[in-house]
Amino acid sequence: MKTLSDNLSVSSAGTLLFAGHDTLALAQKYGTPLYLMDEQRIRRNCRTYVNAFKNAFGDRGMPLYAGKAAAFKRIYQIVREEGLGIDVVSAGEIHTALQAGFPLENAYFHSNNKTDADIAYAMECGVGYFVVDNREELDAIDAAAQKAGIRQKLLLRLTPGIDPHTYEAISTGKVDSKFGTAIETGQAEQLVRYALGLRGIELTGFHCHVGSLVFGEDVYQRTADIMLAFIADMQAKYGYTAQQFDIGGGYGVRYTDDDPQLDIARKIAEVAAHMKAAAARLGITLPKILMEPGRSIVADAGLTLYTAGSVKRITGYKNYLSIDGGMTDNPRYALYGSRYTVYAAGRMNETPDLLCDVVGRCCESGDIIQPNVTLPAGVGRGDIIAVCTTGAYNYSMASNYNRLPRPPIVMLDGDRDYVAVRRESLADLTANDL
């Protein structure tokens, strides 16, 4: 049978295998809901970026893992071993990376609203670079750095005015975005001029991020054209040479068979060639190039297992299959209408002939994991249900709504399975209640 990704297969007994492991056995061993992560797939995805960057830019390029896609200690260790830097967005992510022993000189601290406490914490921890959203924030960082007696390296986040044609909620590069400072309005130039006069900071270069789940052919080429033209302009006007240009994250992944398969290595090679030509045309040296993939590092390394509850057949209307998790562990359909591939893990060889909405257990009608799924008609209470491609923005966006404990993360590595994040207990749920 055809499966979505090559870390999915079907055993001779008709059960779903993930990274070579029997999902029914894993559900039995660890309970459900259960996040699984394929460690070798994470490593392979990291290597795709690391090698593509090496081939394209030598030591003048580096991919950063965007931890917002999935942040826990083990993932930072893996990413470190694979030679990526990181993009962090909060004191919590910095703390997690630090706990994992990640060298923070290769950390880039984003966020459109860093608090004074965040800024102080990040400086105390030795975060290498700040990515600054706006002028007020720049002032706050400059003041904190002067107080700490350091010169904080930073990039300015700019909005190039690109619409990557992805979901509105995750599109960020347009001029009217809440993120960054716009090139088009002249405010980016003013910010550069201003930054160059500050004593507490060192302006290392520029950042932009146009959106997430990007499949568009030339989105990064168009982005690079605008950003490199800006960089050349700043050089001509102020004699300022940007050392780094971070083009953000965003490559899309396959959630269903309808999604295209991106050849990321080829994409990076094409973008790199485009950037080099643009730099030559503009008469500038290409800065060190950074990129911040999140989803494309971890999404297809993840799979969630649930246990089915009731199947409700509303005569003449529709069918619902309830599972023992929901928008608490995967809010993406509820938030974005995201598509997913769903299997009945023990019935892979049966004909899928029951049309149903797979819904969660939260007290909310919008708690849908995926509508209009076809599963074998025999599916019912006790069946294991697998939702694929859940490695990105599932655990990291999980909540305790309805006081549901968050599932554990179990890593699969060759023959080995091990817990990277333990299951929350009922006691964890009241741990902060006084």
Q: Chain centroid to CA 91: how far?
A: 17
Nearest CB to ligand LLP, comparing residues 179 and 343: 179
Token digits of residue 327: 């928008």
Q: What is the dihedral of CA 44, 49, 52, 57, to 10 degrees?
A: -150
Q: Which stretch binds ligand LLP (CB under 6 A): 18-26, 66-74, 112-120, 383-391?
A: 66-74
Q: State yes or no: residue 323 binds ligand LLP (CB under 6 A).
A: no
For residue 77, how many other CB atoms are within 10 A of its CB? Answer: 15
Catalytic residue status for 363: yes
- Binding-site string for ligand LLP from residue 261 to residue 300, where x marks contact by CB under 6 A and - marks none: -------------------------------xxxxx----
Distance CA 3, CA 198 (A): 55
Q: How far is the CB of 325 from ligand LLP (least distance, A)?
A: 16
Please report how the helices 219-238 and 264-282 are oriented relative to each other, as an axis angle in degrees rounded to 10: 30
By DSSP bridging, strand 152-159 and strand 181-182 are: parallel
Catalytic pick among 208, 356, 362, 363: 363
Q: Which lies closer to ligand LLP via its Cβ, residue 18 or residue 395?
A: 395
Helices (H), 253-324: 264-282, 295-298
Site for ligand LLP in 108-167 (CB under 6 A): 110
Q: Which amino acid appears at position 237 of this protein? A: K
Judge contact between 39 and 59, C-beta under 8 A: no
Answer whether the bond into residue 33 is a cis peptide, omega within 30°.
yes
Per CB under 6 A, the list member of 160, 164, 250, 391 interacting with ligand LLP is 250
Nearest approach in angstroms of CB 391 to ligand LLP is 11
User: Least CB distance from residue 69 to ligand LLP, whole Å?
Assistant: 5
Instruction: Indicate the residue among 100 and 208 with the shorter CB distance to ligand LLP.
Output: 208
Query: 374 by DSSP, 3-state: which?
Result: strand
Residues catalogued as catalytic: 363
- Which residues sit at the interface with ligand LLP, rule CB under 6 A? 66, 68-69, 87, 110, 170, 172, 209, 212-213, 248-250, 292-296, 332, 336, 393
